Amino acid sequence: MPSFSEAPNSAAVRKQVLQDQVLAIIRNRRLAGIALTMGLGKTLIGLRDMDRLLTAGKLPEPAAGKHFLVAAPTQAILDSWPQEAQKFGLAHLLDHIEFTTYRSLSKALAAGTYHKLYLDECHALKDSHEPGLKAHAAKKRSILGLTGTPPAQANSEKGRLMATYCPIVVDYTTDEAVLAGLLNDYRLVVHRLPLRTVRDYVLTTKSGSQFTTSERENYSYWSKRLANAAQDQLPIETLRILRMQALMNYPGKGHYMRYLADEQTEKVLLFTCNQQQAEEQVAHTYHSKNKHSQANLDLFNAGNIQRLACVAQLSEGISIPNLRVGIIWHAFGNERKAAQRIGRLLRLNPDQTATVHLLMYQDTVDEQWVAQALESFDPAKISYVDAPAHEQFFQPAPVA
């Protein structure tokens, strides 16, 4: 990967210098991908690349439609393109851009004759997209992939597609951006929670019957099944998934998350694993089934509410001003997903520091997942604390 030169002192100027360098690298590459951590202007790089192509005056008129196609996983991410174009004086580009979600990407490619395809969050590509991508590339047309979270496995479905149609030529990590003064500093605090031994955890079976156990007993049950996987009726991968789901659903982290959020004096973003957990944390949430999600996000951005709980939908393409504290329920064993969530807190001034709290169950596979999630982060920024063993954390708490 290329090395980036020293840049002037202003963070805004340094970001522009970085973007200029990225644009120079991709200038003569027909198929290329860039991996930039959140907050460095991937969308603006895409727009500036379009402007360069139009200004050069060498684009053939499309037989039908427009010069450029922008594709993204969600409409919310697509909406950021015209917003950025307006913000940076590039609104004239909008007359030349067609927008589509990945769900309709194949249809859009079949219907249009676009000079260049811009794949926002290109790590979300699937095998079903390949026929359209292959046909587009076969016509010697260009592709630029944009991502903050390239796949960890090069031989995975997403890794193969990116390597074929938008190979990464720039990979700029969170810590590199922090060291360069492009993003604010951060610290990661891992909270070690014991699995509870109190038998007050009620589980419902598929038949509808209920039984009471404890977090520790339930985890031991799945661990024993995995240890005897050769004799179990379920495949070992299924058993691992079921154990992971069990760990993600134990209520202990939820009670502790509420306690930890209440200890903060600033606004806090809470990342849960699912919508039900988000709803149980606070009164205001952001997820696909909440029709008030955008209104809640607006309130949070403006500082009118101090707590917002969300799931994966808030990981990509959304910036929250003046956010200094975040709490993450589960690490997923994936440093790129961790980077997405941490990236929400990297939009401060470079001389400020954000704090990310990550919850972890002690003496479980959760320790491995956290270690994997934080593998690419500076260990000097990571600290571990033991959660206070106060039973009051685990009492039902009223939703704020």
| pLDDT tens-place string over residues 219-237 | 999 999 999 999 999 999 9
From CA 10, how far away is CA 17, in angstroms rounded? 10
Domain assignment present for 271: yes
| Residue 170: CATH number of its domain | 3.40.50.300
Q: Which residue has the tokens 């944009």?
A: 146
Do 149 and 170 fall within a single domain?
yes
- The whole-number pLDDT of residue 354 equals 83
Q: How far is CA 265 from CA 55, 307, 325, 354, in A?
A: 49, 11, 10, 13
pLDDT, mean of residues 264-277: 91
Domain assignment present for 3: no
Do 275 and 304 fall within a single domain?
yes
Q: How far is CA 295 from CA 291, 305, 308, 334, in A?
A: 9, 11, 11, 30
Cβ atoms of residues 109 and 71 within 8 Å: no
Domain count, the chain: 3
DSSP track, 100-116: EEGGGHHHHHHH---SE
User: What digits encode the pLDDT tens for the residues 96-121?
Assistant: 999 999 999 999 998 878 999 999 99
Q: Quick check: 155 pLDDT over 80?
A: no
From CA 49, how far away is CA 323, in angstroms rounded? 30
User: What digits encode the pLDDT tens for the residues 354-370?
Assistant: 899 999 999 999 999 99
Domain assignment present for 2: no
Q: Which residue has the tokens 């980036």?
A: 4
* Domain region containing 362: 185-194+252-394
Q: Which two tokens stand for residue 82?
A: 């015209």
Do 44 and 150 fall within a single domain?
yes
From CA 112, how far away is CA 69, in angstroms rounded? 9
User: What digits encode the pLDDT tens for the residues 204-216?
Assistant: 888 888 999 999 9
Domain assignment present for 20: yes
- The whole-number pLDDT of residue 8 equals 47
Do 169 and 43 fall within a single domain?
yes
Domain assignment present for 400: no
Do 244 and 256 fall within a single domain?
no
Kindly report the pTM of this predicted structure: 0.68
Domain assignment present for 241: yes
Do 146 and 278 fall within a single domain?
no
CA atoms within 13 A on the CB side of 233: 0
